[in-house]
Amino acid sequence: MLAAGPRSVADDGTCLLVRPDEFEHRTYQLLRADVDGASHEVGALALETVRQIVARPDARLILARTHESLYLFRDGKKARFMPETRAQYIDCALATDTGWFIAAYCDALGSAHALAFGDASGRVGWTRECPEPIAAVGISADGSRIAMATTGGELEILDPMRQVQARVALGSPVTALCMGKTGCELVVGLQSGELVRVDSAGRLTWRMPISGIALSIAGGDHFERIAVGLRTSESGFGILILDSGGVCRWESPCAIEPRGAASSPSGRHFVFSFANGEARCVEWDPVVEPEAEAAPEQLVAARSLAAAGKLAEALHHGIAHLNAHPTDKDAAEWLLDLRDRLVSELCEQARAFKASGRPGAALESARAALAWAPTSAELFEITVRLKLAAERLRVTEARELASVGEFAVAHAIYVELLTADPFRTDLRSDLAALRVEWSRALVADAEVRLAHGLPEEALSLWRSAYQLHPTADLEARIRVAEIDRMLTSARHLYEADRMTEAAFQFRRILGLDPDHAEARRYLGYAEGRTSGGGLQDRFSRLE
């Protein structure tokens, strides 16, 4: 089951769900589910493997994202967005009121990143290059505001004319985000296990720890309540509902990953879709809304976790207590000491990892410490130095792998490093040199295959080498090999008295080499033995 986007639930509780067809390949059923659990099919989509779908509850407007394409379905009509652009799409969001949408994409190597804005007819409004990889995007229901979050934890809020209205440094990579009806506010999930509510001016309304990492977020027009699907551990998941102040009002653990969350405009009905194909509808009755968990219990839990050495979890519970009791000075002072202890432990871990020659692990510990003490200039400098050391180690690893012929693994490391920092010209030079060496190795392997009488394998290797480093010599070799292969096929067809098909192959050869004497001679023989002296069938039309 695929979630149909955060706004796929109507105020009466009916929702739109998407399910792969069990019998037809690359077909997706559109289901409308009622509050009582009944569902019926309202349509179908024919697409390659779908990664994400966002839609209106009435299914009249649907945005579908595959790995390399983006499609807009409006009243049953299908339009492909930017068909001339070769891209890998990362995320998309739909303004259900206006039909406008925003999409994040990158090039095949993941080195260039951009945003694209489209209207309800699928036309491109504008594109905007981004210096960092994009983690998530959002657009308000009326299309008046657009949000873009990067993997580095930076958030930008733009208007439909791509003018930046606010920039926010969140201090942790973004995992999910959702915008309200007018774009006045948005809620963001962070890798650090927190939810943040931000207004259109870039001010943080609140920052609340949750019991995991947010995978999907949905809220009503004005975030009266917020639904979150989250990962609580490596194999544990949960769903929860928070109020407008970020306080958890309801939580339920689950064994299956929640793939998506959706909310009605009023924030009364919520739908969670799961990886096993199930969907769960939650109706929130404000009359019987449960009370928040008693604050002292949060503090007791925090102290218990701290005694067990689980300082990060203790801090999350302690912060929840302070949000409910902001005047508890004793708890605030205890939490400050606890934070200092955690930062100190993480710094010790970073030093130990660095001493053992593991700068990557040291960098992770330093980043975790910086997330708890973001204003520490010393921690920031340590993190930068460790980042540079980890990059140097990875570059050394890539060079060593290339020197022993492990070109594919080395290539992947360079692409990973350039994705994180696309402006490293030295890495781009190393990658270019690696592609040349890899191409030469493939050419040498092709020569061996050719000497052993395996021309098809040699041709495949030449093609791969040409993709890595195109040269005139390789192009000529590939053309000759293609001609030889077609000539062999054409001779067999000729000998089998299949003159029409043989003539078609000989014509293909002459298209590549107009002076090929043997192909021209055989073509004359084949045409002479073909009734009517011409080739008016489907093969000649394919030329």
Token pair in block for residue 503: 């003539």
Residue 83 phi, psi (nearest 5) = -65, -25
- 21, burial (CB in 10 Å: exposed 0-12, middle 13-18, buried 19+): middle
Rounded distance between C-alpha atoms, residue 209 and residue 57, angstroms: 31
**pLDDT tens string 469-522:** 999 888 888 888 888 888 888 888 888 888 888 888 888 888 878 888 888 888
Rounded distance between C-alpha atoms, residue 464 and residue 478, angstroms: 11
DSSP-derived letter for residue 518 is H
Rounded distance between C-alpha atoms, residue 210 and residue 237, angstroms: 12
Rounded distance between C-alpha atoms, residue 522 and residue 513, angstroms: 14
- Tell me what pLDDT residue 363 has: 87
- At 279, which helix (H) or strand (E)? strand 279-283
Helices (H), 308-376: 311-324, 329-355, 359-372
Give bridge partners of residue 27 from the DSSP assignment. 46
- Tell me what pLDDT residue 296 has: 62
Question: What's the whole-number mean pLDDT along residues 111-130?
Answer: 92
Instruction: Identify the CA nearest to 110 among candidates 126, 87, 128.
Output: 87
How is 451-486 classified by DSSP, letter by letter? Answer: HTT-HHHHHHHHHHHHHHS--HHHHHHHHHHHHHHH
Rounded distance between C-alpha atoms, residue 540 and residue 543, angstroms: 6
- Tell me what pLDDT residue 3 has: 64
DSSP-derived letter for residue 37 is S
| SS3 track for 212-246 | CEEEEEEECCCCCEEEEEEECCCCCEEEEEEECCC
- Tell me what pLDDT residue 35 has: 74
Rounded distance between C-alpha atoms, residue 136 and residue 65, angstroms: 13
Unique residue bearing structure tokens 């040269």: 471
Residue 158 phi, psi (nearest 5) = -120, 160
User: Does residue 93 have a pLDDT over 90?
Assistant: yes
Percent of the chain with pLDDT over 90: 26
- Tell me what pLDDT residue 286 has: 57
Give bridge partners of residue 327 from the DSSP assignment. none
Rounded distance between C-alpha atoms, residue 129 and residue 115, angstroms: 6
230 within 8 A of 215, measured Cβ to Cβ: yes
**Is residue 536 very low, low, confident or very high in pLDDT (cuts 50, 70, 90)?**
very low
Rounded distance between C-alpha atoms, residue 38 and residue 31, angstroms: 10
Integer CA distances (angstroms), 340 to 197, 335, 336, 379, 386, in order: 26, 9, 6, 13, 21
- Tell me what pLDDT residue 2 has: 64
**Is residue 134 very low, low, confident or very high in pLDDT (cuts 50, 70, 90)?**
very high
DSSP-derived letter for residue 9 is B
Q: Which CATH fold would you assign to the domain 2-292?
A: Methylamine Dehydrogenase; Chain H (2.130.10)
**pLDDT tens string 225-251:** 999 999 988 888 999 999 888 888 888
Rounded distance between C-alpha atoms, residue 142 and residue 100, angstroms: 8
Residue 213 phi, psi (nearest 5) = -105, 125
Token pair in block for residue 520: 């021209």
Residues 6+ apart with CB under 8 A from 4: 15, 16, 17, 18, 53, 54, 55, 62, 260, 262
187 within 8 A of 206, measured Cβ to Cβ: no
**pLDDT tens string 29-38:** 888 888 777 7
Count how many residues are written for the chain: 543
User: Does residue 103 have a pLDDT over 90?
Assistant: yes
**pLDDT tens string 265-305:** 888 889 888 887 788 888 876 544 544 444 467 888 888 88
β-strands 39-46, 258-263: how paired?
Answer: unpaired
193 within 8 A of 176, measured Cβ to Cβ: no
User: Does residue 380 have a pLDDT over 70?
Assistant: yes
- At 65, which helix (H) or strand (E)? strand 61-66
- Tell me what pLDDT residue 307 has: 83
pTM strictly above 0.75: no
User: Does residue 443 have a pLDDT over 80?
Assistant: yes
DSSP-derived letter for residue 284 is -
- At 41, which helix (H) or strand (E)? strand 39-46
Helices and strands in the chain: count of H runs, count of E runs? 12, 27
**pLDDT tens string 146-183:** 999 998 889 999 988 988 888 888 888 999 999 988 76
Buried b (16+ CB within 10 A) or exposed e, 329-364: eebeebbeebbeebbebbbebbeebbeeebbebbbb
CATH architecture of 297-404: Alpha Horseshoe (1.25)
Rounded distance between C-alpha atoms, residue 324 and residue 322, angstroms: 5
**pLDDT tens string 40-82:** 888 888 887 888 889 988 888 999 999 899 999 988 788 999 9
